[in-house]
Each structure stands twice: as structure tokens, then as C-alpha cells.
Structure 1
Amino acid sequence: MAMLGDLYVNATTVLVALTTLAAFALYKSSKRPANFPPGPFALPLLGNVTTFLSKTTLEAMGDLHKQYGDVFSLKVGSLNMIVLNSIEIVREALVKKAVEFAGRPMSYSVEIFSEGYKDIVFSNYGPQWRYQRKLGHTAIRHFVQKDQLEKLVFSVTPKIAAVLDEIGDKPFAPKYTIGQIVYNILAALCFGKQYEFNQPELLEWIQLNVDVQNAFGNGLIGDYFPALTFIQTPNEKRVRKLLADMLGVFHKELKAHKEKFDPENVRDFFDSLLLTQKQAIEAGEEEAEHITDTHICQTVFDIFGAGTETTIVTLHWAVGLLAENPDIQEKVAKEIDDVLGHDTLPSLDDRGSMPYTEATVLEIFRQGSVAPLGVPHSTMSDTTLAGYNIPKDTTVMINHLAIHNDPTQWSEPEKFKPERFLDDNGQLLKKLPESFLPFSTGRRVCLGEDFAKKEVFLLFTWLFGRYAFYKVPGKESESLLTINKVAALTHQPVDEMEVCVKKRY
């Protein structure tokens, strides 16, 4: 009996100890680190997930900004996260402490998406990443040059012109037409391919891209609860299948490019990367030999992915904003007419001669804020920010939407005013406002920034020089700028936004 009593006491002791440990673990899972930025109460295990159940991500972020200030914290599952909402704090993090905040969070879905962190956008900061980015930057420079980029853009516009010319007064959703323009340009850039408008192969390719982006949009359960990565949910199986189909295209293209590679004839971005790597190896750069086929495919995938959706959404905003503001559209069209006339294609050389048009594009970038939360950063070491202690591996989100609408930095930020980017003489500001960050800043500034700015300028100037976009007759009182709340992490008008278009000459 004594022995049974001892066993009972021991079992009770173990149970109490396990219960205490479990309770402590739950407590720790909801507790913020010492001197961490403020934020809403976090539930054990779940963190602040419930904060986003009744609102969109951007709405919830806006409410938290008002409640907790320019830097606040969240717990998402087991992850500690901070959100930066002012230019002063962003500059302290990404410029003054550039290396400390240059990391990327390691997550289950990103590891799958990047084939083991072999890309540029999502891979962590370090020697491998720096070298791969250097190669990517060198390779894309060829296509940012005036002649190459203009050739890319204007090889596509005649096909789109034929479609827009035939629409007449019929209402249409411009996002789908714009999408085909941009995909054609990026297909020509990356693969040296061209598609006809509404060609089934092009439409299937666009849909596959959209499906992949949507599938990864909110991450996988393993991102928030790492202990559950061994459970492959139906959604994860679907994600893996979509990604295999997508990446299969890139790996197939690389194989074909390597078979026909001619260093004297650089046809596209794949060829340019292969040439850059070849030259680096011949120059004795040992790091170049560690750039695998997967690294090359992922670098092209980065350019394609970043260059399609963001440009499409920017031009979608452009059509909506200028149709909502016909007086601004008229000023843009007049300036284009004055500089180019009716029969001349725009050139990158024209940018300095069209300040109002350039200012309008900049204002579209500001008000559109197409990547409102950017790509997450992660701290590389224990550090501080705005007087708070920020531990290593903290996820850092930059709220570009808040920064681009900060009333302390922008006069009447809710209004669409290209003039805010012009000086008193009507010329483009020589130095843009610090709080203008459409491509981020610091060590992780967008690799394709120069390409994107030039591409958007050429397409915007061609579109609004040749066409006038206006509201559907009878619906003039309805706003075109209803935000798409289904797309959780983007800031854009609804896909179904309709306008009418007419040829100007």
C-alpha cells in the first residue's frame, strides 16, 4: 500500500509539473519581450490572429496605428512582429541601422516558394544574397537602357491598340487588358516570347500566376505554428502543385536557354544572367560558381513576379484615378500633345520635358501604394528602435500606406494632387519627399526599381497620349476607386472596375 501511495504521489507531482509547464508555455506564448513596442492583448498560441477576423489586414493595421502609435507590435502564432508607420522610424531602421534590419523572416511557405531560399526577394541577408543580387543587378542593367526598354514596350503596344480601338463606347474592365500588356512585356524580357492578345497560352499563364499569388497570399499553417509543418493540408498540396507547374516553366526555359546560349547574342534576361555568370567565373569570382540553376531560375522568377502584378495594379490605379479626375487627365494629355504631337511614340528622353506627366505618375505611386506592407524584414541581431528593445529574428513590417498618407508629411493626403511633386515653376522637384517610398529603401530596396519606373512612364504616356478613359455614362456619380477587400495584402481598386475608352486622334 505504501508503494502504491508513493506512485500516486509521484504521478500527481509529475502531472502538476507538466500542467505548470504547459501553463507557463501558454503564458510565454502570449507575453511580449521586455520593453517591446505596445500592441493588443495576444491570446495564448493564437496571438493576435483574431484581430484580423472581422476586418481586412489594412483596415486592422490602420486602427492599430491610431491606437498604439507609429510603432506597434503583434503576435502572429508564435511570431513576434512590429509594424512601422512613420518615415522617421522607417529611416532609423532601414537606413541608420540598415544591416540590423536587412534580414528576411524564415517561414515554411517562403522556403517552399523560393526552393530553399535561393531567390533574391525573400532570402536572408548575407554574402550569398549580396553576390546573387549583384549578378541580378548587372544582368538587368542591359534591359534598363533606353533602346532596349523602348523596344520591349513598343513591341507590345500595337496589339493592345488594336483591341482598345475596337472597344468603342462599350464599358470594359481595364485590368484584364492592362494585364496582357504587362505580361507580354515581362515574357519578352525574361523569355524572349511574345503572345497574341487573348491567346489561350497567355491567359493560362496569367491565371497560373494569379493562382500562385493567391495561394501564398496568407501563408500556410506551418508559418504560424512551426510544430505543424509535418501535416500537409489539402491547401498545402494545392500550393505545391501550383508552384511546381509555375517553376517548371522557368526551369524548362533555363534548359532551353543553356542549350542555345550565345554570349554574342543576348536575347533576354535568362541569357543576360548566364552571360553575367560566365564573365564572373572567367574573372575569377569564386562565388559565381556557387550560383546554381535554381538560383538563376529564382532570380528570373523574382523579376517576373515583382514586375507583373505591381505594374498591373499601378496602371489599374492610373486608369481609375484619371477617369475620376478628368481635369488632370486633360492636363496630362495636353502636355503629351505639346511635347510629342500625335504621331510620335514617347521616349525615355522625354521625361525631363513632361514634368506634369511625371508628377502624375509619382502621385499614382503614392496614392496607389500597390505593396502597402511591402516585403517583411527581420532583425539580424538584438537591436533597438525608437527607444524599444527589438530582439533578433523579430519580423518587421513597413506600412507604406500609412507613410504615404501621413498628414504630417503630405498636405491633404486623401486628395489626388500631382502638383505636390512640382516646384513653384512647375518643374519636377529635384529631391522627392523622404516619405515617398514606393520601392522601399535601404539594403533591400527593390531590385527592379529603375526598370519599373521607366516601364510605367512609357506605358502611361503611350496610353494617355493615345486614349481618353472616362466613366460609364449613367454611372458618373459612382466612385471607380472602391478598394478590393478580397486581396488581403494589396491596395487596389476592385478587379471589375469598368470604364469606357475613346481614341483621342
Structure 2
Amino acid sequence: MAMLGDLYVNATTVLVALTTLAAFALYKSSKRPANFPPGPFAVPLLGNVTSFLSKTALEVMCDLHKQYGDVFSLRFGAFNMIVLSNIQIVREALVTKAVEFAGRPMSYSGEIITEGYKDIAFSNYGPQWRYQRKLGHTAIRHFAQKEQLQKLVFSVTPQIAKVLDDLGDKPFAPKYTIGQIVYNILASLCFNKQYEFNQPELLQWIQLNVDAQTAFGNGLIADFFPALSFIPTPGERKVRKIIAEMLAFFKKELKIHREQFDPENVLDFVDSLLLTQKQALEAGEEEAEHITDTHICQTVFDIFSAGTETTTITLHWAVGLLAENPDIQEKVAKEIDDVLGRDTLPSLDDRGSLPYTEATILEVHRYGSVAPLGVPHSVMTDTTLAGYDIPKGTMVMINHLALHNDPTQWSEPEKFKPEHFLDDNGQLLKKLPESFLPFSTGRRVCLGEDFAKKEIFLLFTWLFGRYTFYKVPGKESESLLTLNKVAALTHQPVDEMEVCVKKRY
């Protein structure tokens, strides 16, 4: 009996110890680090995941910004996140402490997309990333030059012109109709390929990109709870299928390019990458030996995927906003007529001569905030920010939507006003407002920023010089921008938005 009593006592002691440890673990999982930014209560083990079940990420971020201020924190499973919504704090992080905040968080879905982080956009900061980015920047710089870029853009505009010219008064959804221009430009840039309008392969690419955006959404469950990565889910299987289809195309193109590569005749971005790698190897650059075909495919994937989606959405915004504001559209068209005339294609040399048009493009970027939460950063080492202690490994999100709508930085930010970027004489501001970061800043600034700015200028000026976009007759009183709760919150034009178009001359 005494022995049984001892066993009972020992079992009870072990159970109490385990229960205490479990309770402590639960407590730790909901507790913020010392001197960490404020935020909502984190449910043990789950953190703040439940906040996103009934609202979009943007809705949650906007609510928490109002409640907790310009720096607040969240917890997802085992890791902490901070969100920055003030330009001074953002610059402290991304410029003053550029290296400390230059990391990227590792995630399960990120590893799938990047084949083990062989890309530029999502890979962590370090020697390999710096070298790969240098190769990518060198390769794309050639195609951002005036003659080459104008040739790319205006080789595809005749196709879309025919489609728009033939629409008459028929309403159409502009996002991927006009977006086909962008996909064709990127296909020419990356692979020296041209597609006919509505060609099945081109439409398949567009659909794959749409499917990828939908499938990833706010990430996979294993991104927040790594232990669940061993349990396959329908979402994960769908993501893997989409990525496999997309990468198969890039790998096929790379194989063809390697077989046909002529260093004396560089035709596209893939050729340029191969040439840059060849020259680096011949120069004895040790890092070049570590750039595999997977790295090259992922670099092209970065340029193609990011370049198509963001520019397409920017043009979608532009059509919606100018159809919603016909007075602004009329001023843009008049300036283009006065400066360029009606029979001249726009040129990159025209930048600086079209201040109202350029200000309108910048205002589309501000008001639209195409990437409202940007790409997440990760803290590389223990550091401080805005007086808080930020541990290594903390995820950092930049709330671009908040930066672009900060009432202390912008007059009437809720209004679409090209005047935000004009001086009192109607000229473009010599220095852009500080709280304007459509392409981010610091070490992780967008690789294709220069190319994208030039491409959007040419496409925007061509579209609104040649066409007038207007609301569907009979629906003039309906807003194109506030058709649902999320759209009203973020000024977002819905995908199904329809407009009409007519040729100006």
C-alpha cells in the first residue's frame, strides 16, 4: 500500500509539473517581449490569427492603427510582427538602420514559391542575395534604356489599339483587357516573345497569376504554425500545382535560351542574365559559381510576376480613377495634345514636359497604393526602433496605405488630387513628398523600379492621349471605387469594374 501511495504521489507530482509547464508555455505564447510595441491581446498558441478570420488584413491593420498608433505589434503562432505606419519611423528602419531591417521572414509558402529561397524578392539579406540582385540589376538596366523600352512598349500597343477601337459603346472590364499589354511587354522583355491578343497561352499566364494571388491569399496555415507543415492541406496542394505550372514554363524557356545563347546577340532578359553570369565567371568572380539555373529561373520569375501584376493593377486604377474624375482626365488629355500633338507617340524625353500628366500618375500610385502592405521584412539582429526594443527575427510590415493617407503629410488625402505633386506654378515638385513610397526604399527597394516608372509613363500617356474612358451610360451615379466594404476602406476598384471607351481622334 505504501508503494502504491508513493506511485500516486509521484504521478501527481509529474502531472502537476507538466500542467505547470504547459500553462507557462501558454502564458509565454501570448506575452510580448519586454519594451515591445503595444497591440491587441494574443490568444495563447494562436496569437492574433483569429482577428483575420472575419476581416481582410487591410481592415485589421487599419483598425489597429487607429487604436494603437503608428507602431503596433501582433503575434502569429510562434512569431512576433510589428507594423509601421509613420514615415519617420519607416525611414529609421529602412534607411537609418537599413541592414538591421533588410531581412525577409522565412515561411512555408515562401519556400515553396522560391524553391528554397533561390529568388531575389523573398530571399534573406546576405552575400548570396546581394550578388544575385547585382546580376539582376545589371541584366535589366539595358532594357530600361530609352530606345529599348520604347521599342518594347510600342511593339504591342497596336494590338490593344485595334481591340479598343472596335469596342464602340460596348462596356468592358479594363483590368486584363488593357493588362494584356503589360503581359506582352514582359513576355518580350523576358523571352523575346509576342502574343496575339486573347491568344490561349497569354490568357493562361494571366489566369495562373490570378490563381496564384487567390491561392496564397494571406498565406498557408503552416506559415503561422510550422509544425503543421507535415500535414498536407488542399490549399498547399493547390499552391504547389500552380507554382509547378508556372516554373515549368520558365525552366523550358531557360533550356531553349541556353541552347541558342549568342553572347554577341542578346535578345532579352534571360539572354542578358546568361551573359552577365558568363562575364562574371570569366572575370573569376567566385560568387557567380553559386548562381544555378534555379537562381536564374527565380530571378526571371521575380521580374515577370511582379512586373505584370503591379503594372496591370496600376493601369486598372488609372482607368477607374480618371473615369470617376472626367475633369482630371480632360486636363491630362489637353496637356498631351498641347505638348505632343495628336500624331506623335510619347517618348521618355517627354518626361518633364507633361507636369500635370506626371502628377496624375504619381497620384494614382499614392491613392491606389497597389502594394498596400508591401513585402514583409525581418529584423536581422536585436535592435531598437522608435524607442522600443525589437528582437532578432521579428517580422516587420510597412503600411504604405497609411503612409499615403497620413493627414499630417497630405492635404485632403481622401481625395484624388494630382495637385498633391504640383507646386503653386503647376510644375512638378522638385522633391517628392517624404511620405510617398510606392516602391519602398532602403536595401530592399523594388529591383524593377526604374523600368516600371518608365513603362507606366509611356502606357499611361499613350492610353489617355488616344482614348477617353467613361462610365457606362445609365450608371453615371454609381461609383467605380466604392462598391463594397473593402473597396470603401481602401479606395479599391473592383476587378469586375466596367467602363466604356472612345477614341479621341
Shorter-normalised TM range: over 0.9
CA apart distance, 1:53: 2.4
> 1:370·1:491 contact (CA, 8 Å) conserved in 2?
no
Confirm or deny: 8 A CA contact 1:303 1:448 kept in the other structure: yes
Give the TM-score of the pair, scaled to structure 1. 0.98
Q: For residues 247 and 420 of structure 1, what CA distance do their matches in structure 2 show?
A: 41
SS at match of 1:167: coil
* Distance (whole Å) between structure 1 residues aligned to residue 9 and residue 483 of structure 2: 62
2:238 is matched with 238
Report the counterpart of residue 303 of structure 1 in structure 2: 303
- Corresponding residue of 1:97: 97
Residue ranges of structure 1 left out of the alignment (5+ in a row): none
2:135 corresponds to: 135
Residue 296 of structure 2: SS of its match in structure 1?
Answer: helix
Aligned-pair distance for 1:98? 0.5
Question: Quick one: distance in 1 between partners of 2:235 and 2:485?
Answer: 21
Letter in 2 for 1:295: H
C-alpha separation in 1, matches of 2:52 and 2:478: 29
Give me the whole-angstrom Cα distance separating, in 2, the residues matched to 1:217 and 1:53: 12
Listed as ranges, the matches of 1:57-456 within 5 Å are 57-456=57-456
Output the amino acid matched with 2:28: K
Give aligned-pair identity as a percent. 87
What residue number does 1:37 align with?
37
1:484 positional shift: 6.9
Q: Which moved more, 1:415-424 or 1:247-256?
A: 415-424
| Deviates most, 228-237 or 303-312 | 228-237
Say if 2:481 and 2:491, in contact at 8 Å, map to a contact too.
no
Residues 1:472 and 2:472 aligned together: yes
What secondary structure does 2:54 align onto? coil
8 Å Cα contact 2:367-2:491 kept in structure 1: no
Aligned letter for 2:131? Y
Deviations 1:262-302 (A, max 9, x none): 01111111000000111111112111111000000000000
Distance 1:458 1:467 in 2: 14
Shift in Å, 1:431:
0.8
Q: For 1:26-84, what per-residue CA distance to the aligned partner results, in whole angstroms no more than 9, with x for missing partners?
A: 11111110110000011011111122223221111111101100000001222200000
5 Å-filtered alignment, 1:463-502, equals 463-482=463-482, 492-502=492-502
Of the structure 1 ranges 83-92 and 419-428, higher mean CA displacement relative to structure 2 is found in: 419-428
Deviations 1:317-351 (A, max 9, x none): 10011011111101100111111111111100011
Task: Give the Cα–Cα distance (whole angstroms) in 1 for the partners of residues 114 and 360 of structure 2.
Answer: 35
| Cα offset, 1:203, TM superposition | 0.8
Matching residue's letter, 2:323: A
Contact 1:484-1:495 within 8 A present in 2 as well: no
CA contact (8 A) 1:47 1:76 kept: yes
Cα distance between partner residues in 1 of 2:452 and 2:77: 35
Distance, in Å, in 1 between the alignment partners of 2:88 and 2:51 is 26
What is the SS of the residue equivalent to 1:115?
coil
CA distance in 2, matches of 1:499, 1:434: 34
CA–CA distance in structure 1, aligned partners of residues 313 and 81 of structure 2: 27
In structure 1, C-alpha distance between the alignment counterparts of 2:219 and 2:149, rounded to whole Å:
34
Deviates more, 1:188-197 or 1:157-166: 188-197
* Aligned counterparts of 2:485 and 2:28: Cα–Cα separation in 1: 34
Contact 1:484 1:491 in 2 (8 A): no
SS at match of 2:162: helix
Q: Is the 8 A contact 1:369 1:491 kept in 2?
A: no
Q: For 1:381, give the aligned amino acid.
A: T
Q: Give the deviation of 1:425 after TM superposition.
A: 2.1
Aligned mates of 2:220, 2:483 — CA distance in 1: 25
Give the AA of the match of 1:90: V
Higher deviation after alignment, 489-498 or 96-105: 489-498
Distance 1:208 1:485, change over 3 A: farther
Aligned residue type for 2:496:
E
| 3-state SS of paired residue (2:384) | strand
What is the CA-CA distance between 1:486 and the residue it aligns to? 7.9
SS at match of 1:81: strand
Runs of 4+ in 1 over 4 A off after TM superposition: 483-487
Q: Counterpart of 1:362 in structure 2: which amino acid? A: L
Contact 2:192 / 2:267 at 8 angstroms: preserved in 1? yes
Q: Provide Cα deviations, 1:422-480, integer angstroms capped at 9, x if missing partner.
A: 12222111111110100000000000000000000000000000000011111111111
Find the aligned partners of 1:337 and 1:455 in 2 and give their Cα distance: 20
> Which stretch shows the higher mean deviation, 33-42 or 230-239?
230-239
| TM-score calculated relative to the size of structure 2 | 0.98
State the distance in 2 between where 1:241 and 1:416 align.
40
The amino acid of 2:73's aligned partner reads S
Question: Which whole-Å CA distance do the structure 2 matches of 1:346 and 1:354 have between them?
Answer: 10
CA root-mean-square deviation: 1.4
Matches of 2:381 and 2:211 in 1, distance apart? 36
Question: In the aligned structure 1, how far is the partner of 2:400 from the partner of 2:106?
Answer: 22
Give 5+ residue unaligned stretches, structure 2.
none
Superposed CA offset, 1:9-35 (max 9, x none)? 111111111111111111111111011
